[in-house]
Amino acid sequence: MSSATALNIPGYAAGTWDIDPAHSEVGFVVRHLVVTKVRGRFASFSGTIVTAENPLESSVDISVDLSSITTHQEQRDGHLRSADFFEVEKYPTMTYKASGARQDGDKFVLDGELTLKDVTKVVPLTFEVNGIGENPLAGGTVAGFSGTASINRKDFNVNFEGVQNGIAIVSDKIEIHIEVEANLRKPEA
């Protein structure tokens, strides 16, 4: 019995997978003025997933272009690119790298290193395998994953302290949401 079968991952295949940005999303949710949630995403990112024979020994390497942030409000997006938040001219990318996963019930956790503004911290990313199968449109094998994590922005030197009428404009807690579709690389001949 293989490890993938033991973990009940139908269609599991070891190999290198390229994240398909056209069918994937890296986004976030943050409280604004304590009363509502603002959602945003990054339009430009890339990455690979390497699945090992033992799924728990797999790895992930993702790079996000911080200047590609969009919250559907250009003035806010410009502010997020500034030194108050991401400081994209000095720190253009955010990365997430993990090797190894652990099982947590029917989900999995990557204890990967998130690097933002030259600060690297271990951030657990809880994810689930949505499915693995054949892509009838493009051929080849495709896999889907959903993941969530939570960070404190101040841990990464994103220290904007805006206050309006005694209320914090932006909460410290950021929820990260990832939807990934990845294509298995074909073996080189």
pLDDT at 90: 97
**Phi, psi for 95 (deg, rounded to 5):** -125, 155
pLDDT exceeds 70 at position 6: no
pLDDT at 165: 53
pLDDT exceeds 60 at position 3: no
Bridging pattern class, strands 69-70 and 59-65: unpaired
Q: Which residues form the domain of 94?
A: 3-184
Is 77 contained in some domain?
yes
Dihedral of the alpha carbons of 121, 22, 178, 11, in degrees to the nearest 10: -110
Please state, in angstroms and rounded to a whole number, the distance separating the CA atoms of residues 156 and 84. Answer: 12
Q: What is the pLDDT of residues 146-159, one digit of tens each?
A: 999 999 999 999 98
Share of the chain above pLDDT 90, in %: 77
Please state, in angstroms and rounded to a whole number, the distance separating the CA atoms of residues 27 and 139. Answer: 28
Is 22 contained in some domain?
yes
Is 106 contained in some domain?
yes
Name the domain count of the chain.
1
Tokens of residue 93, six digits:
């990318």
Helical residues (DSSP H) of 14-114, grouped into ranges: 74-81
Q: What CATH number has the domain bearing residue 134?
A: 2.40.128.110
Is 136 contained in some domain?
yes
Q: What is the pLDDT of residues 46-90, one digit of tens each?
A: 999 999 999 999 999 999 999 999 999 999 999 999 999 999 999
Is 189 contained in some domain?
no
pLDDT at 166: 56
Tokens of residue 139, six digits:
């051929």
Is 31 contained in some domain?
yes
Please state, in angstroms and rounded to a whole number, the distance separating the CA atoms of residues 110 and 97. Answer: 9
Is 59 contained in some domain?
yes
Mean pLDDT of the chain: 90
Q: What is the pLDDT of residues 106-133, one digit of tens each?
A: 889 999 999 999 999 999 999 999 999 9
Residues in the chain: 189
Please state, in angstroms and rounded to a whole number, the distance separating the CA atoms of residues 35 and 149. Answer: 21
pLDDT at 53: 93
pTM of the model: 0.90
